[in-house]
Structure 1
């Protein structure tokens, strides 16, 4: 009985340690407030406007590159409402078209929707960073799974945007995306 008790205590303490780590350290522990005074200001209406070129990689659950892509984006805005049309070309020759619909509030909060997003994404722009959380439904060819997504974009001093997204199922990271975005005329 004593050994079972110690085993259960070890399991509980291990789970608590993992929870504390995820809550306070690491990628998903970031908060928009962490970047309030880090400048320059990332304004989604300005930096995701017009033609944009994107290049990136997607890592699978074991940290290996599972896909590479290039994409052309076109952002357009009317006041605080905008759209971002995306056309991806993957290394296997397949293509994907997506369109985000975005609304920015006065306080920097963001509401976002797309055809493959379940419900509405929510986020915030603060300093040189933008965070967006949403649930995405993968295409049937990719299993049709619904994944919880944490999407961070960071504005670099030269205007390039670094994008890092993590995708989770049942709290377990199953994929990660790293990409750059920059105005098409800057390429």
Structure 2
């Protein structure tokens, strides 16, 4: 009986340690306040005009499962903007999305797109921006709803580096890393 109790207690403690580690270490532990220094990000400038986006998607095992290039174009009227994206994947498939963005005076962000389950919310602070939303994958990709956290980081030359994690039932199923650079029109 002592051995069974020891195993159960060990499992509970391991589970608690994992929960604490996820909250305070790694991707999920980031906060907007962590990025008050560095070149400031303003999505009205960073995501305006023609943009070239290049990236990779990692599957649940950590191996690259897809590569993509996207032509993006952002346009803003005050604090309301539209970001159009046209993706080309290494598989030959293509995908388009149009984000409708609203930036609050306090840096709060509201994001809408046709494949989101509900509007996304986020915050831009200092040199970073965080956006949380739930996306519904196309039927050809299973139609699953995934919880997404996007972190975008401004770097000195004006490039935005995007890192996103996709989760189902709290388990990471994919990660995306991409750069977004303005291009001449």
Instruction: Tell me the TM-score normalized by structure 2.
Output: 0.98
Counterparts of 1:27-176 in structure 2, within 5 Å, are 27-36=27-36, 38-176=37-175
> 4+ runs of 1 displaced by more than 3 Å?
none
Q: Unmatched 5+ residue regions in structure 1?
A: none
Displacement after TM superposition at 1:39 (Å): 2.5
The 2-side partners of 1:163 and 1:177 are apart by: 8
Please give the secondary structure, in 1, of the residue aligned with 2:33: helix
RMSD value over aligned CA atoms? Answer: 0.9
Q: So what's the TM-score if we normalise by structure 1?
A: 0.97
Deviations 1:130-186 (A, max 9, x none): 000011111101111111111000000000110000001111110000000010129
Structure 2: gaps spanning 5 or more residues: none
In structure 2, C-alpha distance between the alignment counterparts of 1:185 and 1:164, rounded to whole Å = 24
In structure 2, the residue corresponding to 1:185 is in which secondary structure? coil
Structure 2 Cα separation of the partners of residues 69 and 49 of structure 1: 20
Q: How many residues in Structure 1 have an aligned counterpart in Structure 2? A: 185
